[in-house]
Amino acid sequence: MKKEVLGIAFDDLTREEAAQAGAAFLAEDKFHYVVTPNPEFILAAEKDGDFRRVLNGADLVLPDGIGVVYSAKILGTPLKSRVPGVEFAADMLDCLNERGGRLYLLGAKPGVAEEAGRRIVEQRPNITLCGTQDGYFKDEEAVLLKVAAAQPDLLFVCLGAPKQEKWMARWGRHTGARLAIGLGGALDVFAGRVERAPESWQRLGLEWAYRLKSEPRRAVRMARLPLVLVKAAGQRFKKA
Ligand code: UDP
């Protein structure tokens, strides 16, 4: 069931339910793409209709940030849970490892995808890393041809938003992959270059605060995030 938060229709799933849906995509001989919007996406999509359409056109729209979950609650249409992209990605890797399959990693700074791939395959030996490409390329079509030639089943697209979502919507079906996921900075996490917040912070819904503490340069970007909550409250009172 979908629940709308400021123009984006989210899937209301637990992490386990999202993993089941993703596993079904990986078993089907057809292209699917999954997006993991946080409050920054919602604000950007308000101004960019193309981005909004690409997000709402995804096979699965997972709430990545606690800000999305709070906004949904304020709107009176609560979501079951936050489903961080990096956790969904880990579940899909486990699923690919169980059935055996090919993984392509697209995005992040040069060297990061290779390191992430090395670590992933070390822990999940039934996965074949069929290719990597950094995220700082000019020729989109050339990258598509490279990805398609590698014949992946699962494709992580980590170019930052909205670039990664627009890339998946435009080129994804030509890659031959069964499932592409837009994952922002996840390759930096899988490569061990960025650490996620400790579980105690995550449980309290404070992953954003931990991120701000470790990367203070994000302060300007993050300062706009409470705006999503204010907008949600405004919409709720308009309805009342
Ligand atoms: N990135 C990229 N190409 C670009 C811009 C960004 O590959 O043109 C990468 C960047 O290196 C980082 C990821 O995209 O690994 C996204 O980072 P961001 O912090 O924006 O995403 P978030 O973690 O907030 O989802």
57 Cα to the center of ligand 1, angstroms: 22
CA distance 95 to 124: 10
Q: Are 82 and 57 in contact (CB under 8 A)?
A: no
Under the banding of pLDDT at 50, 70 and 90, the label for residue 238 is confident
- 220: pLDDT confidence band, cut at 50, 70 and 90? confident
List pocket residues of ligand 1, CB cut-off 6 Å: 107-109, 135-136, 158-160, 163, 184-185, 187-188
* Residue % of the chain over a pLDDT of 70: 100
Q: What is the pLDDT of residues 119-169, one digit of tens each?
A: 999 999 999 999 999 999 999 999 999 999 999 999 999 999 999 999 999
Contact call for residues 167 and 189 (beta carbons, < 8 A): no
Residue-wise pLDDT tens digits, 52-97: 999 999 999 999 989 999 999 999 999 999 999 999 999 999 999 9
Per-residue confidence (pLDDT) for residue 69, from 0 to 100: 96
Please give the average per-residue pLDDT across 176-195, as a whole number. 96
Which two structure tokens, joined as six digits, stand for 146?
């490279």
For atom 20 of ligand 1, which residue has the closest CA? Answer: 160
What distance in Å separates the CA atoms of residue 129 and residue 116, rounded to the nearest whole number?
Answer: 10
Quick one: tokens of 156? 């992580």
Whether 18 shows a pLDDT value over 80: the answer reads yes
∠ Cα 116 121 122 (to 5°) = 100
In the prediction, which pLDDT does 237 show?
Answer: 85
* Measured distance CA(12)–CA(60) in Å, rounded: 10
Percentage of the residues of the chain whose pLDDT score is greater than 90: 84
